[in-house]
Chain A
Amino acid sequence: MSATTNLKVLSQREDRYVEGHRLCAGCAEPIIARQILMATEKPVVVSNATGCFEVSSSIYPFTSWNIPWIHSAFENAPATISGVEAAYLALKRKGVIKEEMRFVTFGGDGASYDIGIQSLSGAIERGHHFLYVCLNNEAYMNTGIQRSGATSRGAQTTTCPAGTCVPGKKEFPKDLTKIIIAHNLPYAAQASPHNYKDLIEKASKGLEANGPSFMNVIAPCPRGWRFESGKTIEMAKLAVDTCIWPLYEYELGEWRLTADSKRIAEGTKKKLPISDWLKSQGRFGHLSNEKWAYVAEEIQANVDTQWKELLRLCKT
């Protein structure tokens, strides 16, 4: 069962996340969240990890949330929604709650890749029925652009600055999506807000999965990545077109490329070189220096290796 992605229909639905939030101009997070919440008409409860998205949407006594929402702490949003879902099951069994409901958790990459990975892993292992959405802007943006386990190799942040001896972040990011898939959950996917149709369809599959589901969504950050705030969607698309952020899904043991990434694999769309990606953002600006040319080469080699491995998993 798939949700409608018809814009006419979607535009007439009541917004679950409304205007008035204090996120930066060009932030991808509210765009992604609205797309996710469009994927079901069932009542939804949201738990949110500490981060840009949380602080900017709930400044007391105001709120951008038109649906029940809870923030507890940074590292425990999956545990918090576990409790909400446990209460739902208990109260449904007792006949106190009658309606079908859905549960969604939003966390940034810091909350998902780093400090909250235990809570996320535990909640998935226990089989709670919820959709976890990682709003992945590849650094701790809320505290002022510090490196995380999701930050790209070669990117500079305030804790891995590019200096005369060090070319930004030394390490490649961990592959959280694959770590989550290793839990053998019913559904996981990578998505990008530039392709709302693909994203909403994936969210719908996640929400209707028989158990926990996970989506890792690239969330370009004009402030942290250093690009003009009008180019957010363009940036998300470029991440997919260069294959540094492939679109795919894992459903009941089966891996599938989707949308733009599927077309690249089929040869109907061109895979762009990583240099296009690196040149588009100030966080990689130092890599244009001859001295760091090898870093760009290593990033391209890593993208190619990962892409090849994904093609193998997707049997294309």
Chain B
Amino acid sequence: MKKIAMNGDQAVALSWKQVEPDVVASYPITPQTIIVEMFSEYVADGLVNTEYVTAESEHSAMSICIGASASGARTATATASAGLAYMWEVLYVASGMRLPIVMVVANRALSGPINIHCDHSDAMGARDSGWIQLFGENVQEAYDNSIMAFKVAEHMDVRMPMMTCLDGFIVTHSLERFEPLPDDVVKSFVGPFKYRRSLLDFKNPITMGPFDWTDFYFEHKYQQVEAMKRVTPVVNSVAKEYAKVSGREYQIIEPYKLDDADYAVLAMGSTAGTLKEIVDELRAEGQKVGSIKLRLFRPFPHAELAKMVEGLKGVAIMDRAVSIGAEGPIFPEARSALYESKQRPRMTNYIYGLGGRDIRPEELKHVFNQLIHKEDDTVNYLGVRK
């Protein structure tokens, strides 16, 4: 299909128009708002048959999604930052009930101080909530991820809620050319919604969200752990299917010019795109470097990452969030992935871009230089006035 120009939020709204969920519930928050504004225009013009509920808060938006999904409806929402934080309690309810809700997160810093720009603190705060988390690099990925998410979350081996993340402003508000799929292709790709149990099936009444004592709670949590193990193969198979209809095939973790590289830098989101430019520039100077784009954060691809970086001399992990008192959130997981490896590269952590602080090409070059010359510390803060 012909390429069109849209920003990331608009592309997500378009994906929802094509998927046409039964229920969308949402609350406005920058930089996500364009998604729900544009979707509400589709509703106003009768272009979708969706029941669109404008909640009075994000907590209620997610609670509405829980009620709708538990009633056998395909359900979606979008949020960012404080909105996601406000949902925190009920994120666990959604995953605990194994509801395949799809949520788009326009990554934005958390208060305080209040800041509306990009970092990954919001999504990282939800990393333990039992949601699948997929990060996109650009407008095309925001669109593609949003469609694939329905198929992954609703897969009968999975039945878990899924969030797809795009960088606030950097992707949500940047106009880019991308290639959408025709409506009918999206419709047949996601297929009709199937449910296991529904509250509206009153002839087979079900009690959902019961009180779980010490005798069963642990088992129910363990079932979520087991289900999360089934996610990666499903993400991969859905990506392969998607490649057939779109010509674009995604991996859960994507190497760039890594085959003969000695050093690599890993990032999630839009920075992974900038990194490719830097790799090209350094390659032109004769440096043996590559980069890695981490797409799937939950479940974390420990084995795949270990295999990808084994034998490298150094790897820098870029974290656009910080666990104050520890490191960036990706770093300890990446290091842990390599614990059993016999050829562990030196690994360092760069915390960058908090609150939308721009990450410039020369700073990424600096990261490679530091890594190559072993001049960096274990944990480094990039672009901050100390």
A residues contacting B by CB (< 8 A) are 43-45, 47, 54-55, 58-61, 63, 65-73, 75-76, 79-91, 93-94, 96-97, 99, 101, 118-119, 121-123, 125-126
Contact = CB atoms under 8 A, between A and B. Distances in A.
Given A60-B213, A88-B71, A118-B57, A83 B49 contact: no
Contacts of A70: 66-67, 70, 199, 208-209
A119 B58 CA distance: 11
Nearest to B64: A83
A73 B89 CA distance: 8
Nearest to B73: A87
A87 B22 contact: yes
B200 A76 contact: no
Contact of B73 (A71, A91, A101, A123): A91
Given A79-B63, A80-B64, A119-B59, A90 B216 contact: no
A68 B209 CA distance: 11
Contacts of A97: 200
Interface residues on B, range: 35 or more
A-B pairs with lowest CB-CB distance, top 8: A83-B67, A122-B56, A87-B71, A79-B63, A87-B73, A76-B63, A79-B60, A58-B210
Contacts, number: 168
B67 A80 contact: yes
Contacts of B206: 68-69
A49 to B, nearest CB: 11
B60 A82 contact: yes
A99 B212 CA distance: 32
Contacts of B54: 126
B286 interface: no
18 contacts: A55-B211, A59-B213, A69-B206, A71-B209, A76-B63, A79-B63, A80-B63, A80-B66, A81-B67, A83-B64, A83-B67, A84-B68, A87-B68, A87-B73, A87-B75, A94-B49, A118-B56, A122-B60
Interface string B314-346: 000000000000000000000000000000000
A103 to B, nearest CB: 9
A169 B2 CA distance: 69
Contacts of B201: 68
A229 to B, nearest CB: 23
A69 B60 contact: no
Nearest to A85: B67
A82 B67 contact: yes
Contact of A90 (B55, B64, B73, B212): B73
Contact of A91 (B53, B72, B216): B72
Nearest to B215: A60
A121 B55 CA distance: 11
A106 to B, nearest CB: 13
A167 to B, nearest CB: 36
A43 B202 contact: yes
Nearest to B210: A58
A76 B90 contact: yes
B208 A69 contact: yes
A87 B56 contact: no
A83 B210 contact: no
Contacts of B199: 45, 68-70, 84, 87
